Structure 1
Amino acid sequence: MTQVVTTTVEKNIQVDCLLVPLKDKHLLLPNVSVAEVIPFSHLLTTNSSADWMLGRIDWRGTLVPAICYEMLNNHSAPAPNPNARFIIVNGVGANADMPFYAILVQGIPKLMHVHKDEIQQVDAMNMGEFDGMAVTVDGDNAMIPDLERVEVELLVNI
């Protein structure tokens, strides 16, 4: 007689994320997608006619395009904020022309350890074109952006 033993190993998968403050909402990004959080810095001009393209910043000797996520999603720009920062985002498309870009944020992102079963998709009003999904995690509402779509739009407009 052959005995079959089934072992169930429940993996409690955890992803380190950043809860990133914007004007009226938060973005939830995997920590690995953010290279660095830097203070607001002087913006260099760009030839782009897109209003959401703020310019370029010099980050570690590389000129990085900087965007306003709210304006990209056809919402109004945030008011000037002394706590504003930029997050440097690792490009997801492995495009040599743009390995990084910056998003204007309204404060210091909060590190969160998110378990798969703690994140819940919710219906959200005012979802923008570049918001992939609205979620609630650990009591916080956030948008998970469609970074691939953001990057494609950025490449078309730089």
Structure 2
Amino acid sequence: MSDVLESLNGLIIPLANRSLLLPNVAVAELVGYRLSQSASQGPEWFLGWTLWRDQQVPMVDLDNLLADGAEPAMEAQPRTLILNALEGVPGLNFIGMRVWGIPRARRLSRAELEPTGGGSSYVLQRVRVADEPGEFLIPDLSAIERSLEQAGLLRRAR
């Protein structure tokens, strides 16, 4: 039982100029990037909707939400990461997130993670991972869900 608590299967997910770290169970699927309907209004971080498994899933640009404004590398291909919703918000089963590459699996132990800074509005924690370059963000998926709800963007996602 302690092995389960001491390690988890994670994914390193590329954004424009940084990477996210998420547990595998947060991710439903990685698919090609395509919007079924672009956003005509709403915050800049809201891209529109993508059709996935006969559901309209709201799409988020996390680079923009974090006010990063970073441009992806020229060779980077956008993809859609479908995430399982956590909060039980009516009308929100999944969130789509634009990512810039293919996530990479990584088994993580608690000893490999080193906090490097606190969170922010949409980041729970910043960490370094042993044997990996750079800093990783652990996103606050609940805060992203609340932002979608507060912006009134879920009515069309039903």
TM more than 0.5 = yes
SS in 2 for 1:122: strand
Question: How many corresponding residue pairs?
Answer: 147
- The residue type equivalent to 1:136 in the other structure is R
1:118 to 1:22, Cα distance in 2 relative to 1, 3 A = same
- Larger helix proportion of the pair: 2
Among 83, 94, 110, the alignment partner of 1:89 is: 83
Structure 2 counterpart of 1:120: 114
TM-fit CA distance, 1:123: 3.1
TM-fit CA distance, 1:46: 3.6
TM-fit CA distance, 1:27: 0.4
SS in 2 for 1:64: strand
1:138 to 1:23, Cα distance in 2 relative to 1, 3 A = same
Residues 84 and 107 in structure 1, CA contact (< 8 A), matched pair in contact too: yes
Structure 2 counterpart of 1:4: none
TM-fit CA distance, 1:129: 2.7
TM-score (norm: length of structure 2): 0.84
- The residue type equivalent to 1:26 in the other structure is S
Among 6, 16, 19, the alignment partner of 1:23 is: 16
Instruction: Note the residue ranges of structure 1 that are not aligned, 5 or more in a row.
Output: 1-9
RMSD: 2.0
- Deviating above 4 A after TM superposition, structure 1's stretches of 4 or more consecutive aligned residues are 79-82
Q: State how far apart, in whole Å, the 1-side matches of 2:80 and 2:40 are.
A: 20
Q: Deviations over 1:80-132 (max 9, x none)?
A: 765211100101102231110101000000001011221110138xx753111
Among 14, 37, 46, the alignment partner of 2:7 is: 14
Q: State how far apart, in whole Å, the 1-side matches of 2:75 and 2:150 are.
A: 29
SS in 2 for 1:153: helix
Q: Deviations over 1:3-42 (max 9, x none)?
A: xxxxxxx933221111000011100011100100111113
Q: State how far apart, in whole Å, the 2-side matches of 1:82 and 1:19 are.
A: 15
Larger radius of gyration: 1
Structure 2 counterpart of 1:41: 34
Residues 74 and 128 in structure 1, CA contact (< 8 A), matched pair in contact too: no
Identity of aligned residues (%): 26
Q: State how far apart, in whole Å, the 2-side matches of 1:99 and 1:22 are.
A: 23
Instruction: Note the residue ranges of structure 2 that are not aligned, 5 or more in a row.
Output: 154-158
Q: Deviations over 1:48-107 (max 9, x none)?
A: 421110000000100000010011112215357652111001011022311101010000
